[in-house]
Amino acid sequence: MITAVDVIRRKRDGERLSDDEIRWVVDAYTRGAVAEEQMAALAMAIFLRGMDAAETATWTGAMIDSGERLSLRVDRPTVDKHSTGGVGDKITLPLAPLVATCGAAVPQLSGRGLGHTGGTLDKLESIPGWRAALSTEEIVRQLNTVGAVVCATTEGLAPADRKLYALRDVTGTVESIPLIASSIMSKKIAEGSAGLVLDVKVGSGAFMKTRAQAGELARTLVGIGTAHGVATTAVLTDMSTPLGRAVGNAVEVAEAVEVLRGGGPADVVALTVALAREMLALAGLSEVDPAAVLASGEAYETWARMIRAQGGDPAAPLPRPAHVHVVPAPASGVLSALDAYAVGVAAWRLGAGRARREDPVQAAAGVLCLAKPGDPVVYGEPLLELHTDTPEAVAGALEALEGAVRVSASAPPSASLVLETVRGR
């Protein structure tokens, strides 16, 4: 007979949990037969002792089995993308319609922002009329008619993960790589896509601060996907500087639309195309050139259909902030650093993000970066714009930005946005 106390003790003592023990404890916790304090103790034991690849794959499978799996009856190859979260990371917005335009079906079930990293659903909800909640039937219909859907995760997917995620958040066990990886992959595998590309961020604005941490997470994610029969690729990308020039909600939507129309910041375009290539390779569509499709503006038409299908008006004006505060350049020269984490915290404090999951966000809040590293700047000229509906929030945003900007006499060395690619066997 398996008991929660025995499972806790075995992991506490550094032993490997059997498949039966893992399946039992995840199922029992989901049903309420294992108490919160017992799962908290097990989560801490896992945090301290870790899990091997086989344990992690079984743990992921048990969380998938706690709920439903989507059955994607789609006549195109399916491929999804997930980002571990960054600052200015609006890549999903141009990427999903681009890959759909290239011939794949993209079921992008997304989340909301928490802390300094933005949420895709929060960004899209700045579009008048757009709705995040779709039924499984609506998701499948939209994949067949439009080719792409970005929406909230359905309630039936991996309920064990929702319960465990909330527990980890209040017990200091969030940073466990096996628990992070199984949390991400349980939802993504349950979505039913045949292929998955993971954008694993690394740097000051990312959850993983070091290349070593990000590499370990990437390999763990790919290993789980491979073990569950999902073609999986992980791409490590730099998050030391905000992506693009817009950080927030409506401002990021506006920048994504620029990219879809064939323009936009070079780094957003480059990463969108790089991830699209990986997605199309998994979908068996490597012969399509996503760079040419994006430059043509054709993907914008798919975007417009996607937004309309979810009740939004792609032509409607986006919300504007009630207050704009300009931050001047502190010196003349070349901008050599703009810290992603500091900018993300500033946007959060302006109202673009939330401290708790139930907090509201401001659609118009955020930061516009008028210069990026490598650009010349002039003392006293505008460097950043802080957007908010609550002017009293500006002081906290300015405090977050202290030390975030560095101006030098010469340009910084060029850095690669894509650091490493990990592919499944």
**In contact, 274 and 421? CB cutoff 8 Å:** no
Q: What's the rounded Cα separation, in Å, for the pair 327 and 416?
A: 28
**In contact, 79 and 194? CB cutoff 8 Å:** yes
Instruction: Report the relative pairing of strands 106-110 and 376-377 from DSSP bridges.
Output: unpaired
Q: What is the DSSP string of 7-55?
A: HHHHHHTTPPPPHHHHHHHHHHHHHT-S-HHHHHHHHHHHHHH---HHH
- Among this protein's residues, is 183 annotated catalytic? yes
> Annotated catalytic residue: which of 11, 90, 187, 188?
187
> Annotated catalytic residue: which of 110, 183, 193, 204?
183
> Annotated catalytic residue: which of 168, 201, 228, 277?
168
Structure tokens at 316: 């409607």
- Among this protein's residues, is 82 annotated catalytic? yes
- Among this protein's residues, is 168 annotated catalytic? yes
The C-alpha torsion from 337 through 343 and 346 to 352, rounded to 10°, is 160
**In contact, 347 and 367? CB cutoff 8 Å:** yes
The SS3 call for residue 247 is strand
Unique residue bearing structure tokens 């064939």: 262
Burial class of residue 149, CB neighbours in 10 A (0-12, 13-18, 19+): buried
Q: What's the rounded Cα separation, in Å, for the pair 50 and 44?
A: 9
> Annotated catalytic residue: which of 161, 199, 267, 339?
161
The SS3 call for residue 25 is helix
**In contact, 43 and 151? CB cutoff 8 Å:** no
Instruction: Report the relative pairing of strands 366-369 and 382-388 from DSSP bridges.
Output: antiparallel
> Annotated catalytic residue: which of 82, 90, 188, 387?
82
Q: What's the rounded Cα separation, in Å, for the pair 399 and 3?
A: 50
Phi-psi region of 374 (alpha: psi -120 to 50; beta: other; left: phi over 0): left
**Dihedral of CA 256/322/86/233: which sign?**
negative
- Active site (catalytic) residues: 82, 161, 168, 183, 187
